[in-house]
Amino acid sequence: MSIKPGERLPDVTFMTMTAEGPAPVTTADLTAGKTVALFAVPGAFTPTCSAKHLPGFVQKAGELKAKGIDTIACTSVNDVFVMDAWGKDQGAGSDVVMLADGNGDFAEAVGLTMDGSKFGMGKRAQRFAMIIRDGVVEHVFVEEPGDFKVSSADYLLEKL
């Protein structure tokens, strides 16, 4: 069962790259006292994720922040080194926090996993986006398999 609006995010630890190297970031660290736009992709460097999903949030970061978003975060079931390299490749800079969910703990905890075994990818996060206020999910938008509509930066801007 997937997480619903009004529910608190589960306590999960991501990894992110810092100047000192990989560092843990908990859901509480990420969301306490903030409004967060969090989106998940099935895989870093994959076609739709690299051509549309992450670039949309990089391009629309200013607009999202102008509408009250404090932090934009991208997560995927990839390791911290891959997420860091992908963020650099996509020019995410400080606009989008790249969060590695290496073991899929977050995707599983929120009930939004998919089986990518057919493509040699194993268990992954579904494509989705959330608006989170102080640790509580306000909106959750989950894509149908193969779609890219409701988890886009443009769609979130319409909902803010």
Catalytic residue among 49, 58, 142, 153: 49
> What sections of 36-78 are H helices per DSSP?
47-48, 54-59, 61-66
Query: How far is the CA of 29 from the CAs of 9, 61, 70, 115, in angstroms?
Result: 12, 20, 13, 29
Looking at residue 111, its pLDDT comes to: 94
pLDDT per residue over 77-119, tens digit each?
999 999 999 999 999 999 999 999 999 999 999 999 877 677 7
What is the arithmetic mean of pLDDT over 108-132? 84
pLDDT per residue over 22-68, tens digit each?
999 999 999 999 999 999 999 888 778 777 899 999 999 999 999 99
Catalytic residue check, 49: yes
| Domain boundaries, given as residue ranges, for the chain | 13-159
pTM for this prediction: 0.93
Q: What is the CA radius of gyration of the chain?
A: 14
Architecture category of domain 13-159 in CATH: 3-Layer(aba) Sandwich (3.40)
